């Protein structure tokens, strides 16, 4: 059996660029795996792009683009939004900001991306003795996020965009050159790693998603109050999302953001 070569497809700019590069024979991947953390969790624009553009393109080019989900032992699908909102849950898997502004611990990427894709890799034959080569879409301008030491025993992480010396702007050119529109940045719509500008744009153009994010923040803090714990937030500004991103602002007086806090696995924001 030849070595399995699969790409961890996040649904964003870098991943789509790698899909195009694979179709051109510039990188050697014929299997792309997209871990959907939930129809109620992913940014709807990412899911729409996946189904309207990425999937048809892959099929036309003879590439395998699979969609996988986190499945419980009873066979039901678990979503990240569902876990966060489950009655009686004390789970806090997303990287909320603590009262002092520091990011909390997280398990969302590991539970809903890495392990889900890992399960599929094992089904396709990846083992500790015969690990799969797994591509991750980190570009040169995000090289600080590359960290091959975090690979699992059944995989060997590689960064094809780094090997080609491509930046995010180069990915735009690759995508447009294939006749595809540029996808939005991939992430859960309620991700605490959003920049303030992203939240502002969501409040303006997708008020329903912004309201759901505010609702989630309230739910988490109601539970923490019952446990006697300090509140947590979806931004680093030590106040509720609705207060931190007020309605009607065209610009924000704060746009500094901690780039080092971004998920360095490269599994979500690609």
* CB atoms near residue 129 (< 10 Å): 7
Q: What is the structure's pLDDT at 147?
A: 73
Nearest to 189 by CA among 2, 11, 9, 8: 11
Mean pLDDT of 84-108: 88
Higher pLDDT: 257 or 51? It is 51
Q: What is the structure's pLDDT at 262?
A: 56
For residue 260, pLDDT beyond 80: no
Question: For 37-76, how does the pLDDT look when each residue is reduced to its tens digit (9 = 90+)?
Answer: 999 999 999 999 999 999 999 999 999 999 999 999 999 9
Q: What is the structure's pLDDT at 264?
A: 58
Lowest-confidence range among 16-30, 104-118, 138-152, 204-218? 138-152
Beta bridge partners of 67: 34
Which run of H or E residues covers position 33?
Answer: strand 31-35
For residue 153, pLDDT beyond 60: yes
Q: What is the structure's pLDDT at 261?
A: 52
Q: What is the structure's pLDDT at 257?
A: 46
Mean pLDDT of 233-251: 87
Please report where in the chains the tokens 């995508």 appear, as a residue: 175
242 CB-near residues (< 8 Å, 6+ apart): 214
When pLDDT is cut at 50, 70 and 90, the band that residue 14 belongs to is very high
For residue 168, pLDDT beyond 80: yes
Q: What is the structure's pLDDT at 263?
A: 60
20 CB-near residues (< 8 Å, 6+ apart): 57, 174, 175, 177, 178, 180
- Which SS3 state, helix, strand or coil, does residue 4 take? coil
DSSP string, 70-81: EE-TTS-EE-HH
Share the mean pLDDT of the chain.
91
**Residue ranges matching CATH 3.40.50.620 in the chain:** 5-189
Q: What is the structure's pLDDT at 105?
A: 83
Q: What is the structure's pLDDT at 160?
A: 98
The CATH class, in words, for 5-189 is alpha beta
């Amino acid at each position: 059996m030849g070595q399995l070569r699969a790409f961890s497809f996040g649904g964003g700019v870098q991943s789509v660029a790698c899909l195009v590069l694979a179709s051109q024979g510039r990188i050697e991947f014929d299997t792309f795996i997209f871990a959907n953390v939930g129809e109620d969790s992913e940014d709807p624009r990412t899911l729409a792009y996946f189904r309207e553009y990425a999937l048809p393109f892959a099929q036309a080019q003879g590439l395998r683009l699979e969609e996988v989900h986190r499945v419980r032992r009873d066979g039901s699908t678990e979503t990240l939004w569902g876990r966060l909102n489950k009655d009686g849950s004390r789970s806090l898997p997303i990287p909320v900001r603590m009262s002092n502004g520091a990011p909390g611990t997280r398990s969302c990427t590991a539970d809903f991306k890495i392990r889900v894709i890992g399960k599929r890799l094992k089904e396709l034959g990846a083992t500790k003795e015969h690990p799969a080569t797994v591509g991750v879409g980190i570009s040169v301008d995000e090289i600080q996020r590359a960290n091959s030491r975090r690979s699992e025993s059944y995989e060997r992480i590689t960064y094809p965009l780094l090997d080609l010396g491509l930046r995010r702007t180069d990915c735009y050119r690759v995508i447009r050159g294939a006749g595809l529109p540029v996808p939005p940045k991939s992430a859960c719509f309620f991700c605490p790693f959003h920049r303030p500008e992203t939240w502002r744009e969501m409040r303006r153009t997708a008020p329903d998603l912004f309201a759901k994010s505010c609702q989630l923040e309230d739910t988490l803090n109601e539970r923490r109050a019952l446990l006697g714990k300090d509140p947590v937030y979806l931004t680093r500004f030590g106040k509720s999302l609705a207060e931190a991103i007020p309605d009607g602002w065209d610009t924000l007086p704060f746009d500094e953001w901690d780039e080092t806090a971004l998920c360095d696995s490269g599994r979500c924001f690609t």
